[in-house]
């Protein structure tokens, strides 16, 4: 059974902006679902429609089998038995922690002794044991957010809604609260819907992620599905920083520039091509390449490089523009003829100004007409990339350039 069921949900704001367009979605009992998308994509409108703060123009919403939005049906927010955590905590500064947390129980008419016992229990669950008498001013930002979370779950809601609930916190506190939130929702079996702009947060917390664009769900799936099997070029670019390369598929290769191509065995056809795949005819396509599927080979100007002719090789190389060290290597950005490539580099120490030769290990291919990226996710022609990788090199002739593709 689905805790939350949405059918054909539609909403257009007074200024003409499409908030929701024919959204169908089922959130299962005990599931943690993240809503992810750029600004204006509809994720907050969707969450607030579930909460009852937005009344959609059409469609139905069912909570636990009860219709709360639909033809002739409207249940106000306070009657929906939902818990909600906001970005700014929204707790009363002049009340104690215990009084803030117990407020929903007071509204529900729960006897005082039962309410006090429940508040103590929930404060223990969120790591605030013994802090019930403190005021919010005496707490850290992370503790105040735990108060908001405790208040949201103290009434045993049928679902928990989180609206950018962790975005105001600094790392590493935010990372710690992610772990605690995941453990708490699993332990309590809470059905949760979480709106976030943070891709890493969505992928880390959620059982499934719904990616929204222009009021529609572009793709919904497990974090692994979204990263490795994006349904569109937009999803690949937005979720995984993939670079989008326009090119022509012909004769078993994807030509992305003169003399530069990707062999067919390294390409996967996106769902727009169906079971037939790319076929044998010439096609205008867009390849999405994840940073995980790009290798940047260092090119040392003082050494003879086995893959580059002495005079012509520099035309095919890129230049490192930034290299950020992390626990598992370097996150590198490189300029390749006006395109920004991103890759994770290990085994050598990249520095700005270093020349690199890019190699694509794997790319997912979409129809060019269906590959338009929006909302800052990168252009379909690949000219704007605040995103990632580039294609392997194929020789124009045997004398000028030897391929980096290893078959």
Question: What CATH number did the domain enclosing 269 receive?
Answer: 2.40.50.140
pLDDT band of residue 270 (cuts 50, 70, 90) is confident
Query: How many C-beta neighbours within 10 Å does residue 46 have?
Result: 28
Q: How far apart are CA 333 and CA 84, in angstroms?
A: 39
Residues 77 and 125 in one domain: yes
Binned at pLDDT 50, 70 and 90, residue 263 comes out as confident
d(CA 334, CA 332): 7
Position with higher pLDDT, 302 vs 139: 139
Residue 391 falls inside a structural domain: no
Confidence at 2, pLDDT banded by 50, 70, 90: low
Res 280: pLDDT: 65
Whether the pLDDT of residue 301 is over 80: the answer is: no
Contacts of 189 (CB under 8 A, 6+ apart): 29, 30
Q: Which of 165-169, 273-277, 379-383 has the lowest mean pLDDT?
A: 379-383
Asked if 278 and 152 sit in the same domain, the reply is no
pLDDT digits (tens, 9 = 90+) for 34-68: 999 999 999 999 999 999 999 999 999 999 989 99
Task: Kindly give, in sequence order, each residue whose CB lies less than 8 Å from that of residue 275, ignoring residues fewer than 6 positions away.
Answer: none
Q: How far apart are CA 219 and CA 222, in angstroms?
A: 10
Residue 258 burial (C-beta neighbours within 10 Å; 0-12, 13-18, 19+): exposed
C-alpha distances out from residue 113 to 105, 110, 135, 157, Å: 11, 8, 21, 20
Residues 216 and 243 in one domain: no
* Per-residue confidence (pLDDT) for residue 273, from 0 to 100: 66
**Per-residue pLDDT at 3:** 87
Q: Where are the strands (E) in 29-172, listed by range?
A: 32-36, 58-63, 66-70, 73-74, 82-85, 159-163
Q: How far apart are CA 319 and CA 351, in angstroms?
A: 9
* Whether residue 207 is found in the same domain as residue 221: yes
Looking at the domain assignment, is residue 325 inside a domain?
A: yes
Tell me whether residue 363 is in a domain: yes
Q: How far, in Å, CA of 329 to CA of 346, rounded?
A: 5
Q: Is residue 406 situated within a structural domain?
A: no
Is residue 111 within 8 Å of residue 189, measured between CB atoms? Answer: no
The answer to whether residues 353 and 221 belong to one domain is no
Domain boundary among 209, 227, 245: 227
| Cα 388 from Cα 252, distance rounded (Å) | 24
Q: What is the mean pLDDT of residues 371-389?
A: 35
The answer for residues whose C-beta is within 8 angstroms of residue 384's C-beta and 6 or more apart is 378
The whole-number average pLDDT for the span 132-154 is 92
> Position of tokens 């506190």?
173
Q: Distance (Å, rounded) from C-alpha 293 to C-alpha 303?
A: 26
CATH number, residue 73:
3.40.50.300
Q: Give yes or no: residues 152 and 133 share one domain.
A: yes
Same domain, 180 and 68: yes
Residue 377 in domain = no
Q: Same structural domain for residues 85 and 185?
A: yes
Q: How confident is the model at residue 403 (pLDDT cuts 50, 70, 90)?
A: very low
Band (257; pLDDT cuts 50, 70, 90) = confident
What percent of the chain lies above the pLDDT cut of 90? 56
pLDDT tens digits for range 324-363: 998 889 999 999 888 889 899 999 999 999 999 998 999 9
Residues 293 and 164 in one domain: no
Distance CA 256, CA 243 (A): 12
CA atoms 396, 400, 403, 404: torsion sign: negative
CA 49-55-58 angle, 5° bins: 95
Q: Are residues 186 and 276 in the same domain?
A: no
pLDDT in tens, 206-253: 999 999 999 999 999 999 999 999 999 999 999 988 988 888 888 888
374 pLDDT above the threshold of 80: no
In a domain, 296, yes or no: yes
CA distance linking residue 331 with residue 343, whole number of Å: 6
H, E, C per residue of 200-238: HHHHHHCCEEEEEECCEEEEEECHHHHHHCCCCHHHHHH
| Any domain includes 381 | no
What are the structure tokens assigned to 366, written together? 């979409």
In a domain, 387, yes or no: no
Question: How high is the mean pLDDT of the chain?
Answer: 83
Please tell me whether residues 32 and 138 are part of one structural domain: yes
Number of domains in the chain: 2
CB 147 within 8 A of CB 86: no
Parent domain of 99: 2-227
At residue 393, the pLDDT reads 35
Q: Look at residue 307 and give its three-state secondary structure.
A: coil
**For the chain, how far is it from start to end, CA to CA, in angstroms?**
48
Q: How far apart are CA 113 and CA 120, in angstroms?
A: 11
> What's the whole-model pTM score?
0.81
pLDDT band for position 260 (50/70/90)?
Answer: confident
Per-residue confidence (pLDDT) for residue 254, from 0 to 100: 87
pLDDT in tens, 94-122: 999 999 999 999 999 999 999 999 999 99
Same domain, 346 and 293: yes
Contact 377, 388 (CB under 8 A): no
């Amino acid at each position: 059974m689905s805790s939350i069921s949405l059918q054909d949900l539609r909403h257009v704001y007074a200024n003409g902006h499409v908030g929701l367009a024919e959204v169908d979605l089922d959130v299962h009992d005990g599931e943690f679902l993240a809503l992810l998308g750029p600004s204006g994509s509809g994720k907050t409108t969707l969450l607030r429609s579930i909460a009852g703060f937005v009344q959609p123009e059409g469609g139905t919403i069912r909570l636990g089998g009860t219709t709360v939005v639909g033809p002739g049906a409207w249940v106000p927010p306070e009657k929906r038995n939902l818990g909600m955590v906001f970005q700014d905590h929204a707790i009363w500064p002049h009340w104690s922690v215990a009084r803030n947390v117990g407020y929903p129980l007071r509204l529900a008419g729960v006897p005082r002794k039962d309410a006090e016992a429940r508040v103590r229990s929930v404060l223990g669950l969120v790591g605030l044991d013994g802090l019930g008498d403190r005021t919010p001013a005496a707490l850290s930002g992370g503790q105040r957010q735990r108060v908001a979370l405790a208040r949201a779950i103290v009434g045993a809601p049928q679902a928990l809604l989180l609206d950018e609930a962790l975005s105001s916190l600094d790392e590493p506190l935010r990372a710690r609260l992610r772990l605690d939130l995941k453990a708490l929702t699993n332990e309590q079996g809470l059905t949760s819907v979480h709106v976030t702009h943070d891709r890493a947060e969505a992928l880390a917390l959620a059982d499934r992620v719904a990616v929204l664009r222009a009021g529609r769900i572009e793709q919904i799936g497990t974090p692994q599905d979204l990263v490795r099997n994006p349904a569109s070029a937009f999803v690949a670019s937005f979720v995984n920083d993939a670079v989008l390369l326009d090119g022509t598929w012909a004769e078993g290769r994807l030509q992305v520039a003169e003399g530069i191509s990707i062999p067919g065995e390294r390409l996967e056809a996106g769902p727009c091509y169906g079971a037939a795949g790319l076929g044998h005819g010439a096609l205008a396509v867009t390849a999405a390449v994840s940073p995980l599927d790009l290798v940047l080979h260092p090119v040392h100007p003082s050494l003879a490089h086995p893959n580059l002719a002495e005079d012509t090789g520099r035309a095919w190389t890129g230049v490192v523009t930034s290299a950020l060290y992390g626990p598992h290597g370097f996150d590198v950005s490189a300029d390749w003829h006006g395109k920004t490539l991103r890759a994770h580099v290990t085994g050598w120490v990249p520095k700005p100004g270093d020349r690199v030769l890019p190699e694509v290990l794997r790319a997912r291919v979409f129809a060019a007409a269906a590959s338009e990226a929006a909302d800052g996710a990168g252009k379909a022609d690949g000219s704007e990339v605040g995103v990632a990788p580039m294609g392997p090199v194929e020789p124009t002739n045997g004398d000028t350039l030897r391929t980096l593709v290893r078959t």
